[in-house]
Amino acid sequence: MRKLTSICVFCGSSEGNDIQIIETAKELGKALANHNIELVYGAAKIGIMGLIANATLTHKGKVTGIVPTFLKLREVVHLGLTELIITKNMHERKLLMQNRSDAFITMPGGIGTLEELFEILTWLQLGLHSKPIGLLNVNHYYDDLIVMLQKMVEKGFLSKDNLKLLIIDDQIDTLLEKLRKFKAPQKPKLLTNE
Ligand code: AMP
């Protein structure tokens, strides 16, 4: 079993309007603190991002925020984090988020969240890292995205094996358990001309 000491969470910079998502964000923050897992995230004090960070801190957990200078200037950065790292740009931020984390969890969010999820999943598909990636499908939020991924397989744009790289669950504890059990493929399934 993998030891998880830090998890990077990708999620909305907005709070959205689904109370179940809002409550689950707080539960995730609490669960990370209780399991002694450091939260790594985008450093905002707003939205689902802020809710998770505050819940982790309230339950005496460690939180590292990583934010590029141009976002820090917008005064929405959480200034009460255990550690705040300022990067030159988004690319440096995402590389650092990857390096500092043992696993990734995506909670509900908007296009920024999707971009982060698919970049880290692409890197795993290419064998650039071997860390588990979870999708917390709270209250069916990602059902349509999962259907789209299945369509990619059906139409021959995504291999079944690569779809399995994304670990999907709607419960925090079972998702964490699956992340711990994840075994990265020996060889990435790269493109071939066969
Ligand atoms: P979205 O899902 O579109 O709300 O975007 C979420 C992602 O956008 C975050 O994980 C960050 O990468 C980025 N982001 C947007 N606003 C902020 C902010 N105020 N502070 C830090 N990151 C932000």
At 127, which CATH number? Answer: 3.40.50.450
Specify the number of domains making up the chain: 1
pLDDT digits over 175-189, tens only?
999 999 999 987 766
Q: Tell how far CA 69 is from the center of its chain.
A: 21
173 domain-assigned: yes
pLDDT digits over 133-155, tens only?
999 999 999 999 999 999 999 99
117 domain-assigned: yes
Find the domain containing 139 and state its range.
6-181
With a 6 Å cutoff on the Cβ, whether 54 touches ligand 1 is no
With a 6 Å cutoff on the Cβ, whether 112 touches ligand 1 is yes
List the residue whose alpha carbon is closest to atom 21 of ligand 1: 44
Please state the pTM of the whole predicted model. Answer: 0.95
Ligand 1 centre distance from Cα of residue 26 (Å): 18
d(CA 142, CA 57): 27
The pLDDT of residue 190: 63
d(CA 131, CA 103): 5
- Residue-averaged pLDDT of the chain: 95
The yes-or-no verdict on residue 193 having pLDDT over 60 is no
Angle between helices 47-58 and 19-34 (to 10 degrees): 40
75 domain-assigned: yes
Ligand 1 centre distance from Cα of residue 53 (Å): 13
Structure-token pair, residue 105: 């969890």
